[in-house]
């Protein structure tokens, strides 16, 4: 079987599995936990073999990239939506990482979610996420990348609200969804402007030469604008800079989802986008400076907040943001090889930490008890270098999460809600229904007799 066939097969397999399992679910069928476990393990074993075959063939033939064209989805005048896939030295490690880590998380989830009512639903989302992530890392154009990007986003939101019978997961899932929507506007704008200015959104059409170090054909402010838009889109997916606050809210989902989404694959898709567009970013001083500034400020804030978190998963979330900030800074400085190594290493480490978080707490309490309740704190040597007043101010700032949520609530959410209430005058019927569904103040405050 040729590589031109293996690569589409690699991408399509988890998507087809999701469709088959979804149809069975909609028709009222049932797949037992044991059968689901075997199906998932067999699927990821097959995907791993395919990745190894592709990597071996590329190494043996000394190929730097493989381009697969599946035609056009549709064409309108001069615009076309090409179905193209690309495997090269950047995407292949991330494809292998996705297959291995989703397989490990799937195997772990069989026991973690044993007899959970959402067992079947979780594995549906896991297979859909695998399809979306593989599509992101193998997309041959920004158009195709958007498809995988949105698939990863919607599965992330659905798994944050996995425990839908509690209000907090649903509320946080909606908050993350709104953040994703805002960040995706930058990506869609970049795709539109790329077609408008460059005449194409394919990576081969935009860049000349192989990654990294290949130049690109287009110069001037157009490249800078697109690079800045992609930087903001990547920041939204990786919870960096102005989109800093959503990642800790994502910890409402199951621990395996937190591991594969927010420790391993999903948050690193933003860094991958920057790596893929690195020639554009490196050419623009504005875009490079923006990426470095977003990365370093997020890393600094995440380090402070991480040290004040009282629970393991939130602490790991801020630690992940810190490392992602450093990866962003490395990309901004042009250290692409270091960034790729850092990305892959961090994804593997963070997945292990998330999966081990419950047992890690048990081990800590056991060691704490064995030590007689006395364990020396870490990091004190760094704090001692600062005056006590500065330490106290930083602690308060970190305890308030950098006042990020307060700023967003006051200057973003409140104005949007006020505008929505004002616009409701154009739909009086909707406004009337909303007021009927909301409980009155008297009804809330009236005690139960």
pLDDT of residue 215: 46
Residue 115 is encoded by which pair of tokens? 């007899």
Closest CA to 169 of 183, 151, 179, 156: 156
Per-residue model confidence (pLDDT) at position 248: 87
Q: Chain-centre distance of CA 172, in angstroms?
A: 15
Look at 371 and 298; give whichever has higher pLDDT. Answer: 298
Tell whether the torsion through CA atoms of 275, 278, 284 and 288 is positive or negative.
Answer: positive
Long-range contacts formed by 384-389: CB under 8 A, 24+ apart: none
- Measured CA to CA, the distance from residue 118 to residue 231 in angstroms comes to 36
The arithmetic mean of pLDDT across residues 277-297, rounded, is: 92
- β partners of residue 202: 141
If one compares 212 and 51, the residue with the highest pLDDT of the two is 51
160-196 as b/e: b if 16+ CB within 10 A: bbbbeeeeebbebbebbbebbeebbebbebbbeebbe
Task: Identify which has the larger pLDDT, 173 or 429.
Answer: 173
Q: Indicate whether 139 pLDDT > 90.
A: yes
Mean pLDDT, the chain, rounded, equals 85
256 pLDDT more than 70? yes
pLDDT tens, residue by residue, 183-242: 999 999 999 998 888 888 888 888 754 434 444 555 678 889 999 999 999 999 999 988
- Residue 331 has φ and ψ, to the nearest 5°, of -65, -40
Tokens found for residue 298: 């997020």
pLDDT category of residue 346 using cuts at 50, 70 and 90: very high
pLDDT at 217: 52
Residue pair 317/303 in contact by the 8 Å Cβ criterion: no
Q: DSSP letter for 411, please.
A: I
Q: How many CA within 13 A on the CB side of residue 372?
A: 1
pLDDT computed for residue 209 by the predictor? 40
What mean pLDDT comes out for the span 40-51?
95
pLDDT band, residue 444 (cuts 50/70/90): very low
pLDDT at 394: 85
* pLDDT per position as a tens digit, 384-410: 777 878 888 888 888 888 788 888 888
Sign of CA dihedral 439, 440, 443, 445: positive
């Amino acid at each position: 079987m040729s590589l031109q066939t293996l690569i589409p097969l690699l991408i399509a397999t988890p998507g087809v599995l999701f469709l088959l399992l979804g149809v069975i679910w909609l028709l009222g069928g049932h797949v037992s936990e044991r059968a689901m476990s075997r199906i998932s393990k067999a699927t990821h074993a097959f995907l791993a073999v395919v990745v190894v075959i592709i990597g071996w063939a590329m190494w043996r033939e000394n190929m730097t990239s493989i381009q697969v064209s599946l035609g056009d989805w549709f064409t309108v005048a001069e615009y076309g939506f090409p179905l193209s896939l690309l495997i090269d030295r950047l995407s292949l490690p991330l494809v292998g990482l996705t297959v291995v880590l989703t397989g490990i998380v799937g195997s772990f989830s069989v026991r973690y979610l044993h007899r959970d009512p959402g067992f079947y639903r979780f594995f549906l989302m896991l297979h859909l996420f695998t399809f979306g992530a593989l599509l992101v890392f193998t997309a041959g154009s920004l158009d195709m990348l958007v498809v995988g990007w949105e698939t990863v986003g919607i599965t992330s939101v659905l798994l944050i609200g996995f425990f839908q019978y509690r209000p907090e997961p649903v509320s946080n899932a909606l908050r993350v969804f709104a953040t994703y929507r805002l960040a995706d506007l930058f990506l869609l704008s970049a795709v539109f402007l790329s077609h408008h200015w460059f005449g194409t959104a394919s990576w081969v059409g935009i860049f000349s030469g192989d990654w990294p170090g290949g130049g690109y054909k287009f110069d001037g402010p157009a490249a800078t604008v697109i690079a800045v838009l992609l930087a903001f889109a990547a920041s939204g997916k990786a919870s960096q800079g102005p989109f800093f606050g959503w990642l800790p809210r994502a910890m409402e989902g199951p621990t395996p989802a937190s591991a594969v989404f927010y420790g391993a694959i999903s948050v690193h898709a933003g860094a991958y986008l920057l790596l893929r567009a690195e020639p554009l970013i490196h050419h623009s001083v504005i875009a490079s400076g923006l990426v470095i500034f977003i990365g370093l400020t997020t890393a600094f804030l995440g380090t402070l907040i991480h040290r004040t978190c009282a629970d393991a998963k939130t602490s790991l979330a801020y630690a992940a943001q810190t490392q992602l900030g450093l990866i962003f800074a490395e990309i901004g400085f042009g250290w692409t090889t270091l960034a790729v190594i850092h990305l892959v290493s961090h994804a593997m480490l963070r997945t292990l930490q998330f999966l081990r978080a419950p047992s890690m707490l048990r081990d800590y309490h056991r060691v704490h008890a064995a030590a007689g309740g006395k364990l020396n704190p870490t990091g004190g040597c760094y704090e001692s270098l600062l005056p006590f007043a500065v330490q106290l101010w930083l602690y308060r700032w970190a305890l308030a999460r950098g006042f990020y949520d307060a700023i967003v609530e006051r200057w973003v959410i409140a104005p949007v809600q006020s505008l929505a209430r004002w616009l409701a005058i154009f739909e009086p019927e909707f406004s009337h229904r909303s007021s009927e569904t909301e409980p009155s103040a008297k009804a809330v405050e009236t005690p139960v007799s």
